[in-house]
Amino acid sequence: MLSQYDTIYLGYQTWAMTLRQPMRAFLLEYSGEFSNKKIAPFLSEGGYGSSDSTELIREFIARDGGKNNTYTSALIVDGNRVDESDVEVKRWLKTI
Ligand X SMILES: Cc1cc2nc3c(=O)[nH]c(=O)nc-3n(C[C@H](O)[C@H](O)[C@H](O)COP(=O)(O)O)c2cc1C
Interface residues toward ligand X, by CB under 6 A: 13-17, 44-48, 79, 82
Nearer to ligand X, 49 or 65 (CB): 49
Tell me how far, at minimum, the Cβ of 26 lies from ligand X, in Å: 16
CA-based R_g, the chain, Å: 13
Tell me how far, at minimum, the Cβ of 77 lies from ligand X, in Å: 8
Measured between alpha carbons, how far is 81 from 47 in angstroms, rounded to an integer? 10
Measured between alpha carbons, how far is 29 from 23 in angstroms, rounded to an integer? 10
Nearer to ligand X, 13 or 69 (CB): 13
Tell me how far, at minimum, the Cβ of 8 lies from ligand X, in Å: 19
Q: Say which residues have a Cβ less than 8 Å from residue 22's Cβ, sequence separation at least 6.
A: 12
Nearer to ligand X, 82 or 93 (CB): 82
* Spatial contact of 49 and 15, defined as CB atoms under 8 Å apart: no
